[in-house]
Amino acid sequence: MPSNPYDAKGLLLSAIADPDPVIFFEPKRLYNGPFDGHHDRPVSSWKGHELGEVPEGHYQVPLGRAFIRRFGKAATILTYGTMVHVALAAVAESGIDAEVIDLRTLVPLDLETIVTSVKKTGRCLVLHEATQTSGFGAELAAQVQAECFFQLEAPVRRVAGWDTPYPHVHEWIYFPGPARVAEALRELVEEV
């Protein structure tokens, strides 16, 4: 689940080369640029963005390798796809020194990078746009709890799409934006 054009090409080439079946998710919301969750602002373009530059030649982004998009000390945010940009916007707006990990692949999961970060920060926020109930965030939270139990200074928090069966709900209400993420991040950092 890439969060940018550079990773999209590299992950797709790795998926094609992999001998096992691979499901490749491509967030359409990112086609026009790195969407940060602010529906009232125009989307910025990938043109000129460091991750918008895609080499013409062959390269691969390894499956099962997360990437730390922002280093921090106060908390770890685990996310992927469009939510990477929402997380970065929330961190900038909240002023909290959080580490943002772009998972890039869900299976295999780069548990080593996740555990190292959470053990360093002692706090973890899981962010994804699917529903909270039965979403992949529950698996991430369980993995972090199992691997980092003694280093956690607060329970793992999740921010996700609302559990709603109503198709007429506006997307911007359902979508976890930077304000919701920043609020959860503040609560997580203040929790003792």
Could you please state the CATH topology (level 3) that the domain comprising 5-190 is classified under.
Rossmann fold (3.40.50)
From residue 38, give the alpha-carbon distance in Å to each of 31, 35, 168.
16, 8, 20
Angle between helices 178-190 and 83-94 (to 10 degrees): 60
Rg (alpha carbons) of the chain, rounded to whole number: 16
* % of the chain with per-residue pLDDT over 70: 95
Q: What's the predicted TM-score (pTM) here?
A: 0.93
In this predicted model, what pLDDT tens digit does every residue of 116-137 receive, in sequence order? 999 999 999 999 998 888 889 9
Q: What is the mean pLDDT of the segment spanning 130-151? A: 94
In this predicted model, what pLDDT tens digit does every residue of 93-116 receive, in sequence order? 999 999 999 999 999 999 999 999
* Tokens describing residue 153: 């200074």
Task: Quote the pLDDT of residue 37.
Answer: 87
Are 84 and 178 in contact by the 8 Å Cβ rule? The answer is no
pLDDT at 172 over 70: no
Q: What is the mean pLDDT of the segment spanning 75-97? A: 97
pLDDT at 169 over 60: no
